[in-house]
A and B are shown apart, each in its own frame.
With several copies, the nearest count.
Chain A
């Protein structure tokens, strides 16, 4: 059966279930899929995590090396976040340089880490104005069954939580754990008519790419937001999204605290 007919059938099914307030996989509207986090999966990386969000799988590896600081922050480490939507992870991903989808993914995840001040960058200065630690956060999608955003954000902070600064390798003293001091959590919702579906699957996304991502920190403050997709958002839904994002993030943060 051609792909576009399948998409139509899938959409109709998703919508007809939704009319009864149900999701096709039986979840509640504000329920995340099952979350599994494995850390330290790549020994050659300074930190790493494999996150499964239902069938969605994302691996994040952290590499660190000494490098030059930005001129305007001479005493702080540097974060560089990159995402590769490799064609292994989805029939719709193409090889080649990052497209707007992977750039947006990397930048939103980066914003959550950066704006929550999750990493104490002041502690990553080696020699002011000359040398600081560069942290490469590389997001590697493995299986895209929807909501790569939250899976990537979760894998990034999980990997950072288990990262060791490789000082010895560069003859800069003893290794030490990366100083992480906040736990930003991303919550992405799909808007379908008046409904808000948290953590949408690939099948649910057949109704449209109408997403809002909201990232909160451990004080329930917002550190990042991104509306993504061609749709209009009402003020009312905006406030509803803030509430649901705070609440779901709290639950997920509990899992992170066990790492």
Chain B
């Protein structure tokens, strides 16, 4: 394979600097049936999140008498990718659903709703690199929209190593041809990053590069957090105005 130059003159293929996010668009409360919902674009990712709950658990034997169970389904529409994807979960979706659920479960006050379920469904309508982070950001907003009591908000972003450089929020080409990919999710509380809720990594990074990546991810997460907040507040403002 010919060497692909992903960085030229200090700029990335799409003109971004190393520490810049892709454009983000967030809409809250876009679905009628769901208890909470959010449509989110992050670069070319287009995802829809819905939250149902707290509600009864089916099948019943899955219910936990001491707290709500949290379920998360990351699902790609067949038309969301270059080559049509066969419907239904594949191994990748199952892994992403697991780590995403674990990240969100840390902030949901599940002990307030014993024997019930909080179901989070995310549909990837168009996928680009970082779809799991886009989904987590959308899901987090949908949880707020559904009024689920939470100890903070989850905000997610990836960093990558590309042509030896650590960059924020990699797009498809950087993910495919870069040297490493590292998605994070953070818990943000009182406007500050408190801890890491999701951490994965694959590729090749030195200890220092990882450290550099974490710092960059935190910066990006704070920017996304502001957009999440604005979108939520905009909805509530609109609702108040309508009343």
Contacts and interface: CB of A to CB of B under 8 A. Distances in A.
A and B touching (C-beta < 8 Å)? yes
B195 A233 contact: yes
Nearest to B207: A242
User: Which of B46, B52, B203 has its CB near the most chain A CB atoms (within 10 A)?
Assistant: B203
Contact of A103 (B46, B49, B87, B91): B91
Interface in B159-193: 180, 182, 187
Contact of A104 (B95, B122, B187, B207): B95
Given A228-B102, A246-B207, A61 B79 contact: yes
Contacts of A98: 87, 91
B55 interface: yes
A42 B123 CA distance: 13
A224 B201 contact: yes
Main SS class of interface, A: mixed
A142 interface: yes
Interface string A92-124: 000101101001101100010011100000000
Interface in B35-58: 44, 46, 48-50, 52, 55
Given A88-B34, A100-B94, A145-B33, A222 B196 contact: no
A67 B68 CA distance: 47
A111 B202 contact: yes
Interface size for chain B: under 10, 10 to 19, 20 to 34, or 35 or more residues? 35 or more
Contacts of B203: 115, 223
Given A227-B199, A230-B102, A91 B33 contact: yes
Interface string B144-172: 00000000000000000000000000000
B201 A225 contact: yes
A211 B226 CA distance: 30
Contact of A232 (B95, B122, B196): B196
Interface stretch (A31-39, A79-87, A192-200): A79-87
Contacts of B34: 88, 143
B75 A62 contact: no
Contacts of B106: 230-232
B33 A239 contact: no
Nearest to B119: A87
A136 interface: yes
A107 B95 contact: yes
19 contacts: A42-B46, A42-B79, A42-B125, A43-B44, A86-B123, A88-B122, A91-B52, A95-B75, A98-B91, A115-B180, A140-B125, A144-B33, A145-B33, A222-B206, A222-B207, A225-B199, A232-B194, A238-B196, A242-B210
Please provide the 7 A-B residue pairs with the shortest distance between their CB atoms, ordered closest to farther.
A61-B79, A225-B201, A88-B121, A227-B199, A63-B84, A232-B195, A55-B32
Given A100-B97, A235-B214, 18 more contacts: A42-B80, A45-B126, A57-B31, A63-B78, A87-B73, A88-B34, A88-B121, A88-B122, A95-B89, A115-B202, A116-B204, A143-B33, A222-B206, A226-B200, A227-B196, A231-B106, A233-B199, A235-B195
